[in-house]
Amino acid sequence: MTNRYVELLSGESWELVSTNFGDWLLSRIGNNSAGWSEGDTVQLEDGKKLVCFKIPDKHNVCIKLFEEWAHSLARVYAIEEFNKIVFPKNEYIPIQLPVVVPKNAPPWLR
């Protein structure tokens, strides 16, 4: 799973931004068969809010085009790498994410 983040403007919802990305993909590559889900929202020190797109690794084209789409919107965007949220345009200092300790699955899930 790959996590990508993009700035959420006032009055917008994750669903609206997600639809915008899907429509942009459709116009750009002729399909938007890729899927993604909503991840955790990140609040920056200056009050900006970033919403997370959790994109399965199998949707490589979608992942590669995410930065182009976010850049075309002239918004802050970020990429999760090695347990940090990094900003390709270096607007902010990378954010260290907490280490997630895996929990044992209950017996009925094994």
Chain segment 52-90, per-residue pLDDT in tens: 999 988 888 888 899 999 999 999 999 999 889 999 888
The whole domain housing 54 covers: 2-109
Note the pTM of the prediction, 2 decimals. Answer: 0.83
Token pair in block for residue 15: 């669903």
Cite the beta strand spans of the chain per DSSP E: 2-8, 37-38, 42-43, 49-55, 77-81, 84-86, 95-96
What are 12-41's pLDDT values in tens digits?
A: 999 999 999 999 988 988 876 778 999 999
- Residue 76 belongs to domain with CATH number: 3.30.70
**101 pLDDT exceeds 80?**
no
| Tokens at 28, concatenated | 């750009």
Hey, what amino acid is at 98?
P
Closest Cα partner for 45 from 7, 86, 92, 88?
A: 92
Structural domains counted in the chain: 1
